[in-house]
Structure 1
Amino acid sequence: MEAWKRHGAQIVGVLDRQEAALVRGMVGQIKDMLDARVAEQPEDELAALTGIRTGHSSPPEDPILARLLPDFHRVDLDEHGELPPSAAADMDAAAAMRSLHEPELLDRKTGVAAVVLRTCPPDGGVARLSEEEAEAWLTAINDVRLALGTALQITEDTPDVLPEDDPRGPHYGVYQWLTWVQESLVQAVVGGDEFAN
């Protein structure tokens, strides 16, 4: 894939068949995980009366989903790494915040994934994105990177090149490619790499 370029009001990228399949496959997997979380939301009789949707009150057990759907209110541990006596109130607040805000976050994340699946050519080719679609791509690719980074246990200390015998190697290459795709798209969105008609 060449770098994304701005073409007037559009952001244009060309993906080969394998790149398109990779983007569609990984974004599709994230969307499936998020859709499953939506399907498991508890039913709320008050939502029908008030119009206020509520979701899960506890974080996902899956570490990838937990990374994609972080707590909306953090419970701080004391200096010994233990829950302080006041933790019960903090945990109640965290549960209430998650219940109120997670449905909207899930809508946003599944929505941007749907935009990528709609605009990424299935067999490769030219992707022509509006500014809004490009923003959706940025969010969806970031979600894929967060998920992959969590699965591969990537940290700030992870070197650019892994040892040859590291089993994460092939997937780490995908992570690095997605990082480049995201950075290239950011540059095109903010106005760089424009070319004439």
Structure 2
Amino acid sequence: MHKWKRVETDDGPRFRSVLALHESALLRSLASSILGMLDARESSSPPDELELITGIRAGNAAPPEDATMRRLLPDFHRSDDDNNDEAMNAALRSLHEPAIIDAKRVAVQQVLDTVPEQGGRFELTEDQANAWIAAVNDIRLALGTMLQIGPEGPDELPAGHPMAGQLSVYHWLTVLQEYLVVALMKRSRR
């Protein structure tokens, strides 16, 4: 992965980089996995009679059982009153989860649509770059949950550890995202 280069054009900024073949394949695989998880969550929603009548989509009111999906789709509200939280979160989740899943799906699809299949140079528009940041963040959240990354780490694992490769991928995604954020924040000096 090379650093992102911001190039000003008449049609707005473009963000250019280069991915190796294995980086492209890895990113496509991870993005596809997130897409599959989002599709599974959406399809787990029970049928809603009101949706059939009004056309207003309702999501699953129950929080995800899987820790990774709970990280991608956290509760909306937290307070000291657990009973109130459950009802509040169920209502908010039912109302907003479909749109959140749609936004996450669009971002991940942008990555799949723009990653060069064979690796190599590629270019993103500003909207595509923002979608990449969101999608890479979701991939990092999923991996971080699997690796149990929190304020206490782990920052490093022994070379023979079964999750050492995944932690390396997590760090690579962190750098990819950080470089893109930095490129987005730069403005041309004209």
Same fold per superposition (TM over 0.5): yes
Q: Percent same amino acid at aligned positions?
A: 47
Q: Which residue of 2 aligns with 1:3?
A: 3
Q: Which residue of 2 aligns with 1:83?
A: none
Q: Which residue of 2 aligns with 1:72?
A: 76
- Segments of structure 2 that go 5 or more residues without pairing to the other structure are none
Q: Could you tell me which of 159, 176, 180 is aligned with 1:185?
A: 180
Matches within 5 A, 1:151-162: 151-162=146-157
Q: Could you tell me which of 131, 135, 149 is aligned with 2:126?
A: 131
Give me the TM-score of the superposition, normalised by structure 2. Answer: 0.91
Q: Could you tell me which of 117, 126, 143 is aligned with 2:138?
A: 143
Rounded to whole Å, the distance in 2 between the matches of 1:167 and 1:75 is 38
Per the TM alignment, residue 179 of structure 1 is displaced from its structure 2 partner at its CA by: 0.3
Rounded to whole Å, the distance in 2 between the matches of 1:89 and 1:178 is 37
**RMSD between superposed Cα atoms in Å:** 1.7
Q: Which residue of 2 aligns with 1:21?
A: 25
Rounded to whole Å, the distance in 2 between the matches of 1:159 and 1:191 is 31
Q: Secondary structure at the match of 1:59?
A: coil
Q: Could you tell me which of 90, 94, 104 is aligned with 2:89?
A: 94
Per the TM alignment, residue 40 of structure 1 is displaced from its structure 2 partner at its CA by: 1.8
Rounded to whole Å, the distance in 2 between the matches of 1:159 and 1:146 is 14
Rounded to whole Å, the distance in 2 between the matches of 1:141 and 1:122 is 17
Q: Which residue of 2 aligns with 1:82?
A: none
- Deviation by residue 1:64-107 (Cα, 9 ceiling, x = unmatched): 0110000112253xxxxxxxxx5333311111111111111000
Rounded to whole Å, the distance in 2 between the matches of 1:159 and 1:93 is 34
Q: Which residue of 2 aligns with 1:118?
A: 113
Q: Secondary structure at the match of 1:7?
A: strand
Is it true that 1:36 corresponds to 2:31 in the alignment?
no
Contact 1:75/1:91 (CA < 8 Å) preserved in 2? no
Q: Secondary structure at the match of 2:17?
A: strand
Per the TM alignment, residue 37 of structure 1 is displaced from its structure 2 partner at its CA by: 1.0
Q: Which has the higher contact order (CA 8 A, sep 6+)?
A: 1
Contact 1:75/1:94 (CA < 8 Å) preserved in 2? no
Q: Secondary structure at the match of 2:60?
A: coil
Per the TM alignment, residue 160 of structure 1 is displaced from its structure 2 partner at its CA by: 3.2
Rounded to whole Å, the distance in 1 between the matches of 2:175 and 2:47 is 41
Q: Secondary structure at the match of 1:157?
A: coil
Rounded to whole Å, the distance in 2 between the matches of 1:140 and 1:164 is 28
Q: Secondary structure at the match of 1:140?
A: helix
